[in-house]
């Protein structure tokens, strides 16, 4: 029933036992404008290769679950309008009806696990939105981390979110949040925040080992690896704070809801920073891809 299609590169890596890193596609369709989205997707794939692993960008195309996209498929997806944003709740319906959709962190984790891929790189995970006490807007990415055994390398949760509440939900659900190489929890566009990460590890091999130990213990779920954006590429928190506040106010005034919230905020912050947020976003995704490749190789 399920149609799972591997790219030639990924099929080859599977048969020869090379390390593979999963990559999501919502960041392409809903997280960045064209043509930077497809340029970034290609750069991120190349970064994975340069660091010793094979990239598998995941999406649903005409009902088939693709593990690895060729350049033509990547370009088409990046240019398409009205691509669905798929999470755990809507992935199966999309596949059953022959639809096309981009996978969020949650959906990419599900697909990666189906394809036996243990490491996944993205920009920033979804989390608890500010005002969640009235909207109940909590990303399905968090519950996915609690149940699907994939290690996700991200630059923390996106700074548009309520970070303390996001950490609380992750803790309640038993998700290890591991800062890489520093005590402070990275804040997406900024390398540090004023919150310490619950855990810290300093090498890819330790992260790989922790993933394996969880598996041996029979614990469900994955790990969130919070990898700071390189200092040279960061936008300091103080610069971003008023921009994020303005974007959040506009979202409220325009009554932006549900799946549209994150894409709206990212687009407004891109405009309000004259593109600087996108430049930082590209740098942090590449940095995450490099670390994910090293973790996958260490496994």
Nearest residue (beta carbon) to ligand PSU: 123
Asked if residue 162 binds ligand PSU (CB under 6 A), the reply is no
Write down the catalytic residue from 9, 118, 144, 158: 158
Shortest separation between residue 222's beta carbon and Mn ion, angstroms: 19
Residue whose CB is less far from Mn ion, 86 or 296: 86
Please report, as residue ranges, which positions from 183 to 222 form the binding site for ligand PSU (by CB under 6 A): none
- According to the binding rule CB under 6 A, does residue 126 interact with ligand PSU? yes
Instruction: Say if residue 205 is exposed, middle or buried (CB neighbours under 10 Å; 0-12, 13-18, 19+).
Output: middle
Token digits of residue 172: 């309640």
The set of residues, in sequence order, having a beta carbon less than 8 Å from that of 239 and lying 6+ positions away, is: none
- When computed from its CA atoms, the radius of gyration of the chain, rounded to whole angstroms, is 18
| Contact with ligand PSU (CB under 6 A) among 30, 113, 268, 294 | 30
3-class state of residue 55 by DSSP: strand
Q: What is the DSSP letter of 160?
A: T
37 alpha-carbon distance from chain centroid: 14
By CB under 6 A, residue 273 contacts ligand PSU: no
Residues 48 and 290: their CA atoms lie apart, in Å, by 6
Task: Let me know if 24 is a catalytic residue.
Answer: yes
* C-alpha span between 163 and 198 (Å, rounded): 13
Q: How far is the CB of 266 from ligand PSU (least distance, A)?
A: 6
Q: Do 164 and 174 meet the contact criterion of CB atoms below 8 Å apart? A: no
Work out which of 55, 68, 123, 176 binds ligand PSU, going by CB under 6 A. Answer: 123
Is residue 124 a contact residue for ligand PSU (CB under 6 A)? yes
Instruction: Please report, as residue ranges, which positions from 130 to 159 form the binding site for ligand PSU (by CB under 6 A).
Output: 139, 141
- By annotation, the residues acting in catalysis are 24, 158
Which spans of this chain sit near ligand PSU (rule: CB under 6 A)? 24, 26-27, 30-31, 104-105, 122-124, 126, 139, 141, 259, 262, 266, 281
């Amino acid at each position: 029933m399920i149609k799972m299609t591997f790219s030639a590169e990924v099929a080859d890596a599977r048969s020869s036992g090379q390390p593979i890193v999963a990559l999501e596609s919502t960041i392409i369709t809903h997280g960045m404008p064209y043509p930077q989205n497809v340029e970034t997707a290609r750069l991120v794939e190349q970064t994975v290769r340069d660091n010793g692993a094979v990239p598998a960008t995941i999406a649903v195309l005409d009902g088939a679950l693709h593990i690895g996209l060729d350049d033509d498929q990547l370009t088409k997806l990046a240019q398409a309008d009205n691509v669905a944003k798929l999470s755990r709740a809507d992935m199966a319906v999309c596949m059953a009806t022959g639809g096309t959709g981009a996978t969020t962190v949650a959906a990419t984790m599900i697909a990666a696990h189906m394809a036996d891929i243990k490491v996944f790189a993205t920009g920033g995970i979804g989390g608890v939105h500010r005002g969640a006490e009235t909207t109940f807007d909590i990303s399905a990415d968090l519950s996915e981390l609690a149940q699907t055994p994939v290690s996700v390398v991200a630059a923390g949760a996106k700074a548009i979110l309520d970070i303390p509440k996001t950490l609380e939900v992750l803790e309640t659900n038993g998700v290890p949040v591991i800062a890489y190489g520093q005590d402070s929890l990275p804040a997406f566009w900024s390398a540090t925040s004023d919150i310490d990460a619950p855990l810290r590890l300093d090498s890819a091999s330790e992260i790989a080992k922790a993933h394996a130990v969880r598996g041996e213990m029979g614990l469900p779920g994955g790990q969130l690896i919070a990898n700071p954006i390189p200092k040279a590429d960061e936008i300091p928190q103080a610069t971003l704070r008023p921009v994020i506040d303005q974007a959040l106010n506009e979202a409220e005034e325009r009554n932006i809801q549900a799946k549209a919230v994150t894409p709206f905020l990212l687009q407004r912050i891109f405009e309000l920073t004259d593109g600087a947020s996108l430049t930082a976003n590209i740098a942090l995704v590449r940095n995450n891809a490099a670390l994910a490749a090293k973790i996958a190789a260490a496994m």
